[in-house]
Amino acid sequence: MEDMYRELHEIEGHGFGQISESFKELGCDLSSYDRLSSMTAVAALSLVAENRTRIVRLDSLLHFAAIHAKGRQQVTVPALDRWLNRLLSHSPLSRREDPAEDIAVGNVMTPSGNRRVFTGD
């Protein structure tokens, strides 16, 4: 329990550039990919309601792609799978994600006022 607490608080107050240093394999892998295609694919995954429980990994990967993606290779589904489900899945970042039983609520602003939209389970 102490190790988990220490691990979670080690990344507090650090920028994504500093955090990404502990993900050398991911940074190296991202370097061969095109920044725009990588960021677009990750941002699109962030908009899918089923991925709301993985938002910490997706947000982190979006920042890591902005920092490290400098190549020409277009992003692929296997690359996204590797980054999210192998390289980040057991990291301190993924342990910061909310459990799936949470309810997702959206706020829609209209001329007649704000409306709550329940999009989760």
Any residues with CB less than 8 A from the CB of 26 and at least 6 apart, and which?
Answer: 20, 64, 68, 83, 87, 88
Domain interval for residue 86: 2-118
pLDDT tens string 43-92: 999 999 888 888 888 988 998 899 899 999 999 999 999 999 898 887 77
The total of structural domains in the chain comes to: 1
Residue 6 has what pLDDT?
A: 66
- Looking at residue 76, its amino acid is T
* Strand 105-110 relative to strand 113-118, pairing: antiparallel
